[in-house]
Structure 1
Amino acid sequence: MTTKTARELAETYFTSWEAGDFDTLRELLAEDVDFVGALGTASGVEEALAGLKGLGQVLEKIDVKVRVAEGSEVITWFDLCTSVAPPTPTANWMHVEDGKVARIRVTFDPCALLAGFEKRS
């Protein structure tokens, strides 16, 4: 099996998440993946998948605007389109080690999403 580049891993990560394919996502993430984002943090593959599944319940589309990769680093700029808020401009940075996503940092303004979640409750 050929090892994917960091860019290919990022592309697969986003298409899998958008499709709700969490088995493929699990294969992409390092066991000790470290996630820090606007809505929380996660340590390890199980916590990271739980967070992705949670947001996945309202995820409609990931509209990628640009992806920049250099070596083991990838930044993806996209609109996070959900059923509870207008499209949210989002930046996602990933670091890849040994062919797996090891670190993820995500930043966006969470206000509209949080308000949307509150309305659903």
Structure 2
Amino acid sequence: MTQPTALDIALAYHRAWTGHDFEAAMQYVADGIVCLAPAGPIEGAEGFRAFMEPFSKLLLESTLLSAYGDESTALLMYDTRTVPVPSAPAAELLTIESGRITQLRIIFDRQPFTEARADAR
């Protein structure tokens, strides 16, 4: 039996959280994950959960645009439709070690979410 590739792990994680099964998604996250997000670094699985789980609850739909990987990294680009924002494209560069995500660098535009919060007031 072959070991899953970094891309396999990244896609399984992505399918889980975009499929509204955040507990399954967390099975792919290392305890010591470092997430490099636009607001700054987030360390540890619980910090990562606090950052990502609320967003996953706002998610209505996600479209995977592209995915690439090698032995230890994967790159995903996708678009999301959320409750407050109709289109929120993002990219993630994931580092995988021993079948777990040890680093996730996420790039997305925070401005549409800031505007949606301001409009809701």
Do both proteins adopt the same fold according to a TM-score greater than 0.5, normalized to the shorter chain? yes
Q: Deviations over 1:50-108 (max 9, x none)?
A: 21111122111221110011111101011122111131221110000111000000112
Q: Is the 8 A contact 1:14 1:62 kept in 2?
A: no
Output the CA distance in 2 between the equivalents of 1:64 and 1:106: 15
Residue identity over aligned pairs, in percent, reads 21
1:70 counterpart = 2:81: no
Q: CA RMSD in A?
A: 1.8
Q: Secondary structure at the match of 1:57?
A: helix
User: Which residue type is aligned with residue 74 of structure 1?
Assistant: A
Closer, same or farther in 2 for the Cα pair 1:57/1:40, shift >3 Å?
A: farther
Output the CA distance in 2 between the equivalents of 1:49 and 1:29: 9
Q: Which residue of 2 aligns with 1:89?
A: 89
User: Which residue type is aligned with residue 15 of structure 1?
Assistant: R
Unaligned runs of 5+ in 1: none
Unaligned runs of 5+ in 2: none
Closer, same or farther in 2 for the Cα pair 1:3/1:118, shift >3 Å?
A: farther
Output the CA distance in 1 between the equivalents of 2:13 and 2:118: 28
